[in-house]
Structure 1
């Protein structure tokens, strides 16, 4: 069960990271799409996915990327609204709370569209393949934890 959670969290982190990268605006989405597909291909190679598994995984990844692309305008609108709030004459806690609720609603909508694809990827993989991915995720997490640091870089 913990392995499934770890895999789901890893997939969710990838999706959130991809969404954040897409929020940076036009032109970068192609690079981000290439980066996502490259990382997915590496994971498929790691678990020695069959051609059928690769096709199903790639279809799910493409759907996720499509959802993220469709949300780009919403993220740009939220950014513009935030700038207007911060540069306006008056800012209230109600304004901030309303914006936070709007963002939470949009994130919930995003998750509801992406979650089925994450489940599809999970179901396509064998338990041994999921274990391989979980071990790789654990290894990467430990590697990243070694370089903890603040804004200035690794702690001294």
Structure 2
């Protein structure tokens, strides 16, 4: 592909987590389904949102307005998107200063919190590990039977 000015298009499955965790990944064009959101944030990668259906529009709204880790390109598959629009959102999210830098910092901060939630160091456990322990204890307790 070198020298052709064309990117690689994967028609079927691609190893999304491996791609997102690669150091050269600067942003993720996502439909903003919750699994994709969590995978992107766990890798500290800001998003370009293109919600298509279901809860995705609500997710992108939260990611943009409340969390500050995404920009929205458009909504639904019927929208006509210009190359200029795509260029604009890519430039925003990839900025080394300003909004792009802030988005990357916030995404990295969220990634650190997500890692903390699943850590287990001796008796010190992350919130997700503690919640799973509590769930298992509740299920196995004599009162639950």
Higher relative contact order (CA 8 A, sep 6+): 1
Flag the structure with higher helix content.
1
